[in-house]
Amino acid sequence: MAKKLLLILMPVLMLSDLSGQNYTSTWESLDSRPIPAWFQDAKFGIFIHWGVYSVPAWRKLEPGRYASYAEWYYAKVMYNDENGGRAFHQKNFGKDFAYRDFGPLFKAELFDPAAWAALFKRSGARYVVLTSKHHDGYCLWPSASPYSKGWNSMDVGPKRDLVGELSTAVRNEGLKMGLYYSIIEWERIWTHRTESGYYLPDEIVQKYKIPDDSYVDDHLNLQLRELVESYKPSLIFSDAGEWDGSAEFWKTKEFLSWLYTESPVKDEVVVNDRFAKGMPGKHGDYFSSEYKDMKEGVDPCHPWEESRGIGGSYGYNRAENIDDYRSSKALIHELIDIVSRGGNLLLNVGPTADGRIPVIMQERLVDIGKWLNVNGEAIYESRRVEEGVLETADEGLFFTQKNHKLYCLFDKWGESIRMDLGPDVVAVRLLGSNEKINWHMEQGKLQIDLPQLTIDELPCLHAWTLEIGLSQNQK
């Protein structure tokens, strides 16, 4: 089946000067802010789900998106009879063992932030996003919120500022550092919690709940500003605010106005679209998708990011085995597909409670890094190729573009590749190889003859890239 393509070659637009800009707390004003260029240039980032849920680290594997998320242990596993969660919890930890009893067991004694950061650099990622606080409310930094006392990584568990340590290490490797922050917490009463299947006993909710007014002003927005001022993240990945609560309720627009106008990261920070109801796919510097759940009708030209785990869970899930993890080839193919459609891939790792990144996850990251060492030119700073004029291209090809060059990525090595590019081709080369690539025009179409190489002669494994140089007169 032919694929129609339109190649639009244009210089990459540089970010306009954001300094001195004032953004008011209206969507019209906030949406007018240009997105800092680094995000669309980066293409590949590392997500880290790590916290108290890494201690039990278990959820029964079931079919369906979201069904294996072990980081939801508190509200979806330990009190759940249907998936065997309650039986698992009581057998392994005891009937009277509360979720907050896991806190002292989250020790992170083997956590080496420099080693983590070096691995992320080796993977070829350009940015890192750490869960500063997930839905269980446990903070990986010493928050000043009165409601986080005794429930953060400095007071209980590691007795360390995990956000601060990793932020420093990541920046020392030359990578951007971002922070995930959950807007809601399981222990807070919210409208659709029970009917959504997120269950905590009433006595737990009553014991730890925070009144709405205090939650929004003295906890949520205090913590968001605290994270920005203390750690200066280049990215804020909000989550679950869209489940319950409008932008007016959460005071989202007021926070974003401050973030874009006055904060220490106002010229660099990017945020996603999960702060509040009504935001997904409409408001945010970039739109978020996880495990391909992007809603239909979203503007494909707006910056976006797909996040997923190497397995089916974000948090470490001890129920997952080798066949539950994506292969290196599958992950590289996913990166190619996402970038060719104009998005970023945020690939998650789930460390253990003692601070180790599982070896199988390390292996996948190293393999992606090896591939990017050869093919990164087709990924970083590239832009999507629009559907339209290029008449035909063989099935199974993916395209990106940059600086009057078209990049054709493919994962099946045949005899030739054909596409309709017209007379403007000036050169063709295989990235990572000195092998001469023969090409010619045949009936108005470009035909590239692939050399027949042994596996040892190929520049890399899993997928390859042809760089096609185009005349600067090409329109």
Q: What is the pLDDT of residue 197?
A: 72
Note the pLDDT tens digit of each residue in 118-148. Answer: 999 999 999 999 999 999 999 999 999 999 9
Note the pLDDT tens digit of each residue in 205-244. Answer: 999 989 888 999 999 999 999 999 999 999 999 999 999 8
Note the pLDDT tens digit of each residue in 30-57. Answer: 999 999 999 999 999 999 999 999 999 9
The CA distances from residue 69 to 34, 112, 308, in Å, are 34, 25, 11
* Contact yes or no for 254/20 (Cβ under 8 A): no
Residues 6+ apart with CB under 8 A from 161: 140, 141, 142, 153, 154
Fold that domain 27-378 belongs to in CATH: TIM Barrel (3.20.20)
Q: What is the pLDDT of residue 188?
A: 84
Q: What is the distance in angstroms between the CA of the first residue and the CA of the last residue of the chain?
A: 26
Q: Is 453 helix (H, G, I), strand (E, B) or coil?
A: coil
> Helices marked H in 61-108 — which ranges?
73-76, 85-93
Average pLDDT over residues 432-448: 92
Q: How far apart are CA 380 and CA 51, in angstroms?
A: 31
Torsion of CA 291, 113, 272, 175, to 10 degrees: -110
| φ, ψ dihedrals at 223, nearest 5° | -70, -40
Average pLDDT over residues 70-86: 95
In whole numbers, what is the pLDDT of the chain averaged over residues?
A: 92
Largest CA distance in the chain: 76
Q: How far apart are CA 401 and CA 41, in angstroms?
A: 12
13: pLDDT strictly greater than 60: no
Average pLDDT over residues 411-438: 92
Q: What is the pLDDT of residue 19?
A: 61
Q: What is the pLDDT of residue 298?
A: 74
- Quick one: pLDDT band at residue 295, thresholds 50, 70, 90? low
The CA distances from residue 449 to 333, 375, 435, 469, in Å, are 23, 19, 12, 16
Q: What is the pLDDT of residue 11?
A: 42
* Contact yes or no for 178/224 (Cβ under 8 A): no
Q: Which residue has the higher pLDDT, 16 or 76?
A: 76
Q: How far apart are CA 395 and CA 411, in angstroms?
A: 11
Q: How far apart are CA 285 and CA 291, in angstroms?
A: 20
For strands 464-470 and 405-410, give the pairing: antiparallel
For the ranges 20-34, 359-373, 388-402, 446-460, the lowest mean pLDDT is seen at 388-402
3-state percent helix, strand, coil for the chain, nearest multiple of 5 = 30, 20, 50
Note the pLDDT tens digit of each residue in 394-418. Answer: 888 999 999 999 999 999 999 999 9
DSSP states of 344-385 as a string?
Answer: EEEEEE---TTSPPPHHHHHHHHHHHHHHHHHGGGTTT-EEP
- Tell which residue, 179, 285, 305, has the closest CA to residue 233: 179
- Integer-rounded Cα Rg, in Å, for the chain is 24
Note the pLDDT tens digit of each residue in 338-368. Answer: 999 999 999 999 999 999 999 999 999 999 9
Long-range residue pairs from 377-380, CB within 8 A, at least 24 positions apart, any chain: 377/402, 377/407, 377/431, 377/465, 377/467, 378/402, 378/407, 378/409, 378/431, 378/465, 378/467, 379/43, 379/44, 379/335, 379/336, 379/339, 380/41, 380/42, 380/43, 380/126
Percent of the chain with pLDDT over 90: 82
For the ranges 22-31, 32-41, 69-78, 381-390, the lowest mean pLDDT is seen at 381-390
Average pLDDT over residues 248-275: 98
Location of each CATH 3.20.20.80 domain in the chain: 27-378
- Quick one: pLDDT band at residue 190, thresholds 50, 70, 90? low
Percent of the chain with pLDDT over 70: 92
Q: What is the pLDDT of residue 6?
A: 52
Q: What is the pLDDT of residue 193?
A: 61
Token pair for 116: 């983590």
Q: What is the pLDDT of residue 73?
A: 98
Global pTM reads: 0.95
Length of the chain: 475
* Contact yes or no for 276/292 (Cβ under 8 A): no
For the ranges 184-193, 314-323, 334-343, the lowest mean pLDDT is seen at 184-193
CATH 3.30.1490.20 fits 385-470, yes or no: no
